[in-house]
Amino acid sequence: MPSLRHEKLLLAPVAGVDEAGRGPLAGPVVAAAVILPAKGIPRGIDDSKKLPAKERERLAARLRGCAIVGVGIVEPDEIDRLNIYWATMKAMTLAVDALGIAPGHVLVDGNRSPRWNHACTPIVKGDSISLSIAAASIIAKTTRDAIMIAAADTWPAYNWHSNKGYGCAHHLRALREHGPTPLHRRSFAPVAQAELPLSMPHESFPPHH
């Protein structure tokens, strides 16, 4: 289970940063930054991938009520312009900026960190080690999931309420049959290879709001 071992050695306030959505074929990449409170940290915080969806939602609500939370979102068109690595770095930067206060130190999940002026320590598998990063992973994951579930109402053929934009068999089949939507990342190979059939009626692709 993640702990506060790293946080206790660093200049407060310490922000944990993690992202969700580097791998999907559709939807934004979302990063979150979380500064945990000195007291009253919710129990059960862990790497978001290890938690059931309902538990993630419960913990996300608790964290938003007791912690300082910032979220950064980079949309698919910008992912295509920047590439997914730099889009992720931008999302992390936006998330820390959205905290509203300057952290004394930032802990980032992974082995790289954005080019910023904050004192920073990348931690490989940090969402399993640092409680702050684990909290950020929960916020990032639940935020992105909500975006994709809402988008599934507009484009139901792709089953995003279930696959969240990842390239599962159902999603890939729908991509071949219907072509890409405005939420698809055209720089990703399976999307680039999918051609929109000329006979596809326009009403199959309602505008995205």
Does residue 118 contact residue 105 with C-beta atoms inside 8 Å?
yes
Best CA proximity match to 142, nearest among 51, 10, 25, 9:
51
CA of residue 3 relative to chain centroid, distance:
22
Flag whether 203 is marked binding: no
Does residue 146 contact residue 3 with C-beta atoms inside 8 Å?
no
Task: List the helix and strand counts (H, then E) for the chain.
Answer: 7, 5
CA separation for the pair 157, 152 (Å, rounded): 8
Joined together, the tokens standing for residue 47 give 């790497």
Return the beta strands (E) in the chain as ranges: 14-20, 29-35, 68-74, 105-109, 120-123
Flag whether 127 is marked binding: no
Question: Strand, helix or coil at 88?
Answer: helix
User: Which residues sit opposite 30 in a β-bridge?
Assistant: 20, 73
Flag whether 78 is marked binding: no
Q: What residues are designated binding site for a divalent metal cation?
A: 18-19, 109
Q: What residues are designated binding site?
A: 18-19, 109
